[in-house]
Amino acid sequence: MTLPDAPSSPAGADRTFQVDLRGLVDLLSHHLYSSPRVYLRELLQNAVDALTVRHALEPAAPAGAFGIRLYADGSAVRVEDDGVGLTEADVHSFLATIGRSSKRAEQVTEQRGDFIGQFGIGLLSCFLVADEIHVVSRSARNPDAPAVEWRGRGDGSYTIRTLRPSARPRPGTTVTLTPRADAGEWTRPTQVRALARHFGSLLRHPVTFDDGSGGPGAAVNPEPAPWARTYPTPGARSRALAAYGEDVFGFTPLDTIELDLPAVGLKGIACVLPQAVPAGRRHGHRVHVKGMLLSEQADEILPEWAFFVRCVVDAESLRPTASRESLYEDDTLAAVRDALAERLRAWIARAAASDPDLLARFLHVHHLAVKSLAVHDDEILRMLLPWLPFETTDGHTTLDEFARTHRTVLVTSSVEEFRQVAAIASAAGLGVVNGGYTYDRELVHRLPEIRHRTSVADLDPATLTAHLDPVDRETELAAAAYLARAREALAVFDCDVALRTFQPASAPALLVDSREARHERTRSQLAREQEGGLWGDILGALRQEAPRAQLILNQLNPLVRTAVAIDEPELARTSAEALYGQAALLSRRPLRPAESSLINRSFLDLLAHALRKDH
């Protein structure tokens, strides 16, 4: 709040900061708080903290004896509590001072672990919707103390006066706001009730709302949190928690996981999402502190791999940030995150041990999340790796089923490599797993840790071609001239040509070429183009024999048998280019510009040849 100008003082003397309240409110509204709606949360927080102190003063008071009452009729918003109240000294300490500690304030903050917030800067959030804050309070610490009225205005001024006891017969505090014209969105009766329900549905003190219509006040939090209630059977409890999760998040959970960390006073549920989500997408979780909603987007309470659940928790010991809209990153939060992660692991372990149907549904939806966890968690790896689905030459299956059929498991390094060889490898009896998806190759290589009799190796072209049957000598000699022309035509792609027999017979050719081989050929080509320069010398020093791609023609295919018998050199060359282009397309890898040009040219040449032949 703005202080009067200090008199002139000698050079080097201490001076007092000047605080522009309007500027501070602007800072709060644009940078600290996400929305003006937080004014009601701050008022509720102050009321709850006052009730906490009142219960400490009167521990024998029955449950529900003290509460909070909200009023909103369109012209005013009023929050009344039966808390400890304020004396005139408290008003100066808590309401009229920003950032300055008094002896009483220091005594109160020693009990801060029992509080959600504290008086002071939180109350300033009311200036987001009103130009004046009217507070009437009477202290429960001193029954003879008079009621005190405080009026704070947005220009930084305030007044304090003592009232007759009749102005506030009982201890407690009443805060009244007269909304500005531009704040109607947040101060209408229906909106105030909705905000009270939104922020305070899990508060432990009774909260009621009155819209001024003359009817009885409606309970804002009529029931305790669902995990704090008793149920006749475990099944009834499970259904109630699932219904609460559906009401909060808008989806029917695949399952609900109870969360209970007594060390920090945390209770709640984690709802397993019924649909898959992209890896790494972190959903916000609803975090309450002592019943008050702190944040709906608190993604920091769970590790990144736990993106298959959304949580609702209520905690005692988590520390809010200054805006009280997110969590402060400290050792307590780190410990809570680790403990909740362990609860999720335990749930997966229980499902694997005792509920195979639930585990199957969970893995069908969230196998990617489990794979990301298994990469770093040996326990989950041993427990679930055999049951995780992978794309293989036997279709989508689990590694456990796949390893029963294939003692040696081959894994590709990319999706395109798998698609390139899948049909031929399957026909040759090879067991190949697509390792091109996130985590898959790394996990497949860890299979021998679980299945000791299974071996895993990367698939390379030599392994595949070794399982293709050679043609007889006479057939190969008859095709020698064609193969020579084909090699000459495809030399520009560093591609060799061979004739083999393999299934399926419908496949005319197979292009065997790894991503690493293509990268090495690109590097070698760049080195040749940079001959003589510094960059060329560097690349030349790394030069080695560049691996060649291999176009394997299938002698069992009728088209290939016709092609290898072609005597006309140009037609033989064109047919070889066309077979290479078709095999490159079937590999589903990105085509180089030269390959796209070759496919177009060979197609047009074959079309022209066919038309000439018809005429």
Give the tens place of pLDDT for each residue, 234-283: 999 999 999 999 999 999 999 999 999 999 999 999 999 999 877 656 67
The percent of residues in the chain predicted with pLDDT above 90, rounded, is 42
Region 311-322: mean pLDDT is: 87
- Please count the residues of the chain: 615
Region 499-524: mean pLDDT is: 75
pLDDT band at 370 (very low <50, low <70, confident <90, very high): confident
Give the pLDDT confidence score for residue 103 in this predicted structure: 35
Q: Tell me whether strands 68-72 and 77-81 are parallel, antiparallel or unpaired.
A: antiparallel
> For residue 137, is it left (φ>0), alpha (ψ between -120 and 50) or beta?
beta
Whether 427 has a pLDDT exceeding 90, the answer reads: no
Q: Flag the least confident range among 26-35, 126-135, 367-376.
A: 26-35
Instruction: Look at the block and give the residue holding tokens 């009217």.
Output: 134
pLDDT in tens, 464-501: 777 788 899 999 999 999 999 999 999 888 888 999 99
Is-contact 50 94, C-beta < 8 A? Answer: no
Q: String of b and e for 165-204 (b: at least 16 CB within 10 Å)?
A: eeebeebbbbbbbebeeebeebbbbebbbebbbebbbbbb
Q: Give the number of other CB atoms < 10 A from CB of residue 23.
A: 11
Q: Flag the least confident range among 184-188, 299-303, 376-380.
A: 376-380
Is-contact 388 398, C-beta < 8 A? Answer: yes
Q: Residue 525: which of 506, 510, 512, 540 has the closest Cα?
A: 540
Is-contact 340 298, C-beta < 8 A? Answer: no
Question: What is the layout of strands, in order, in the sheet containing 469-470?
Answer: 469-470, 495-501, 549-554, 509-512
Region 103-126: mean pLDDT is: 51
Region 398-419: mean pLDDT is: 88
Q: What is the pTM of this model?
A: 0.70
pLDDT band at 79 (very low <50, low <70, confident <90, very high): very high
Return d(Cα 382, Cα 590) in angstroms, integer: 37
Give the pLDDT confidence score for residue 526 in this predicted structure: 52
pLDDT band at 6 (very low <50, low <70, confident <90, very high): very low
Q: Where are the alpha helices (DSSP H) in 286-414?
A: 331-354, 356-376, 378-384, 399-405
Helices 356-376, 331-354: crossing angle, 10 deg rounding: 140
Region 119-148: mean pLDDT is: 84
Return d(Cα 97, Cα 108) in angstroms, integer: 15
Q: What are phi and psi of 289, to 5 degrees?
A: -115, 115
Give the pLDDT confidence score for residue 229 in this predicted structure: 94
Return d(Cα 218, Cα 40) in angstroms, integer: 17
Mean of the per-residue pLDDT values of the chain: 83
SS3 433: strand
